[in-house]
């Protein structure tokens, strides 16, 4: 009897994803959104309110149409675009001067709780399968840890790590059993990376630790999986905030086992896999997508 090969495909047909942290077509959040759509998922995104108008304008004017093209035909369409500032669990937590400012006051409830309530209104209970946390902010990221203020440090932890806890806390009840949450981390969680300061290395370490604990708690309570992807450096607009991203990209390329620059879609594809039934046995894990750089103990010989 002749053996027949069966192709394993990532199939997310009928699944709904929420990708938090998409404001253009250059970063990991967009690449993950596109990979999920390629696999058949419907995609909603959460966008920082000050960037939302620009993002909506880019879409409306067709400025990112080329990036939105899918290999199977058609384009990446966002089922909903929600305002989201993950620094605030509820609207009441937001200072009045921020809430009433020009970039926020017409956006309704942009808190994490507001996002959860909007999703419930739009799609009902148990209508979410995938949550992607592609958020980070360290206002003092250019400062060495020795010079970081308490407020700068705690802001980095709050927005870059605790926001995952808050999102799982509020969105897991909306997720169907078998759902998946994925976040993005970086090697500075476990290695010293001079220049990546302001408490961001501490925030990434907290994010990875929380991933393990949330995997247990949310797995037992909601039957969902929680993983994080440790991605290599990408010269996105958001990453430019650290000030030396191009140098990091070149250093990784020169010293990785695969001497190549990371492509955002490679991270997107791994995220799609982790959110699919093919990864049903994987949870509480940090998956490295960095061309193998994390395995190196010294610079590569010239």
**Helix, strand or coil for residue 102?**
coil
User: Whole-angstrom Cα distance, residue 48 to residue 55?
Assistant: 10
Spatial distance between the Cα atoms of 178 and 190, rounded to a whole number of angstroms: 30
Write down the pLDDT at residue 239.
61
In whole angstroms, what is the distance from residue 175 CA to residue 181 CA?
10
Please state, in angstroms and rounded to a whole number, the distance separating the CA atoms of residues 178 and 277: 8
The per-residue pLDDT for 237 is 65
* pLDDT at res. 3: 47
* Residue 130: strand, helix, or coil: strand
pTM of the full predicted structure? 0.94
Neighbours of 217 (CB within 10 A): 16
Q: Are 181 and 214 in contact (CB under 8 A)?
A: yes
Indicate the DSSP class of residue 48: -
Residue 46 in contact with residue 18, Cβ under 8 Å?
yes
Residue 241: the pLDDT is 66
Q: Which among 18, 294, 57, 28 has a CA at the least distance from the CA of 181?
A: 18
Closest CA to 275 of 208, 230, 226: 226
Residues 43/70, Cβ–Cβ less than 8 Å: no
Q: What's the number of CA atoms in the CB half-sphere (13 Å) around residue 58?
A: 16
Spelled out in words, what is the top-level CATH class assigned to the domain 16-291?
A: alpha beta
Collect the ranges in the chain with pLDDT lower than 70: 1-6, 236-243
Q: What is the set of active-site residues?
A: 186, 196
Q: What is the pLDDT of residue 1?
A: 39
Structure confidence at residue 107 (pLDDT):
93
| Structure-token pair, residue 27 | 């970063």
In contact, 160 and 200? CB cutoff 8 Å: yes
- What CA–CA distances, in Å, run from 263 to 72, 251, 253? 20, 15, 11
The H-or-E segment that residue 203 falls in is helix 200-222
Residue 116 corresponds to which tokens in the numbers above? 């959860």
- Model pLDDT for residues 92-117, shown as the tens digit of each residue: 999 999 999 999 998 999 999 999 99
What local confidence, expressed as pLDDT, does residue 120 receive?
A: 98
CA 11 to chain centre: 20
């Amino acid at each position: 009897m002749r053996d027949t090969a069966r192709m394993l495909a990532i199939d997310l047909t009928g699944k709904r994803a929420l990708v938090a942290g998409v404001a253009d077509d250059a970063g990991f959040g967009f690449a993950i959104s596109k990979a999920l759509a390629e696999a058949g998922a419907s995609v909603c995104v959460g966008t920082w309110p000050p960037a939302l108008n620009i993002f909506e304008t880019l879409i409306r004017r067709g400025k990112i149409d080329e990036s939105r093209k899918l290999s199977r035909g058609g384009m990446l369409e966002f089922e909903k675009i929600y305002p989201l500032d993950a620094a605030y669990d509820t609207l009441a937590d937001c200072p009045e001067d921020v809430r009433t400012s020009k970039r926020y006051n017409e956006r309704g409830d942009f808190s994490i709780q507001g996002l959860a309530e909007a999703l419930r209104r739009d799609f009902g209970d148990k209508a979410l399968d995938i949550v992607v946390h592609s958020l980070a902010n360290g206002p003092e990221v250019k400062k060495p840890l020795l010079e970081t203020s308490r407020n700068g440090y705690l802001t980095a932890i709050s927005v870059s790590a605790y926001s995952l806890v808050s999102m799982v806390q509020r969105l897991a009840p909306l997720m169907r059993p078998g759902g998946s949450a994925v976040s993005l981390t970086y090697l500075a969680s476990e290695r010293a990376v001079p220049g990546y300061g302001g408490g961001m290395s501490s925030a990434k370490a907290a994010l990875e630790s929380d991933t393990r604990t949330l995997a247990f708690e949310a797995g037992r309570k909601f039957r969902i999986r929680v993983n994080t992807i440790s991605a290599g450096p990408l010269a996105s607009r958001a990453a430019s905030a650290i000030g030396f991203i191009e140098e990091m990209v070149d250093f990784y390329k020169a010293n990785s086992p695969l001497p190549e620059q990371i492509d955002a879609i490679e991270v997107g594809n791994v995220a799609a896999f982790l959110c699919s039934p093919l990864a049903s046995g994987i949870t509480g894990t940090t998956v490295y997508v960095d061309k193998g750089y994390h395995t190196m103990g010294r610079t590569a010989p010239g």
